[in-house]
């Protein structure tokens, strides 16, 4: 795992390698009945939504298919990790919360990050750029989260965790 200071989207956009993935922390709340969307209203998820406006509906469809759920709004069962290609960008949603209003869930995050690490290990040629999970809107400090990240990603060289300055 590599630590980078700055915005994960800037690092993703600036990387000139052939294979790259942008991973962002997410919840499992849908809004909208006719056209369900994953709630992406704050933090890293909102940044992704601003850059790729179709992301909320794309991820809602993928999560629904993965879980076999209908289009009902509200909190969905856990999906942990899902990926999509949106406008030539490879993007993964990493579930760290069940509800956008709640504090991040450590055990849910551990499972989601373990699945991301397993994916990264199977695809060592792909560089992953991800915001630091659970800090900021997740309600934890870097000091609380870092031991878990070191444990899960310690030996994985293609995962890049970003944190903003200050």
pLDDT tens for the chain, 166 residues long, are: 999 999 999 999 999 987 999 999 999 888 887 788 999 999 999 999 999 999 999 999 998 877 766 555 666 678 999 999 999 999 999 999 998 899 999 999 999 999 999 999 999 999 999 999 999 889 999 999 999 999 999 999 999 999 987 6
Residue 74, CA atoms < 13 Å, CB-side half-sphere: 4
Rounded distance between C-alpha atoms, residue 96 and residue 140, angstroms:
12
pLDDT for the residue numbered 73: 60
pLDDT for the residue numbered 9: 97
pLDDT for the residue numbered 63: 87
CATH number, domain at 37? 3.40.220.10
- Which tokens sit at 160? 């890049």
Whether the Cβ atoms of residue 8 and residue 131 lie closer than 8 Å to each other: yes
Rounded distance between C-alpha atoms, residue 146 and residue 126, angstroms:
23
pLDDT for the residue numbered 152: 97
pLDDT for the residue numbered 117: 98
Buried b or exposed e, range 127-148, using 16+ CB within 10 angstroms: bbbbbbbbbbbbebeeeebeeb
Whether the Cβ atoms of residue 13 and residue 19 lie closer than 8 Å to each other: no
Domain that holds residue 151: 2-163
Rounded distance between C-alpha atoms, residue 15 and residue 38, angstroms:
27
Domain total of the chain: 1
């Amino acid at each position: 795992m590599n630590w980078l200071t700055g915005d994960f989207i800037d690092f993703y956009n600036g990387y000139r390698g052939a294979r790259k993935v942008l991973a962002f922390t997410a919840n499992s709340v849908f809004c909208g009945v006719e056209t369900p969307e994953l709630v992406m209203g704050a933090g890293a998820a909102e940044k992704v939504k601003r850059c790729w406006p179709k992301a909320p509906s794309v991820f809602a469809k993928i999560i629904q298919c993965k879980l076999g759920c209908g289009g009902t709004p509200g909190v969905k069962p856990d999906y942990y990790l899902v990926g999509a290609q949106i406008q030539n960008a490879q993007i993964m949603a990493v579930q760290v919360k069940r509800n956008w209003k709640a504090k991040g869930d450590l055990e849910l995050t551990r499972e989601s990050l373990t699945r991301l690490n397993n994916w990264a290990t199977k695809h060592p040629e792909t560089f992953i750029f991800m915001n630091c999970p659970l800090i900021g809107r997740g309600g934890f400090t870097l000091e609380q989260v870092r031991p878990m990240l070191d444990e899960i990603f310690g030996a994985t060289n293609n995962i890049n965790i970003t944190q903003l300055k200050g």
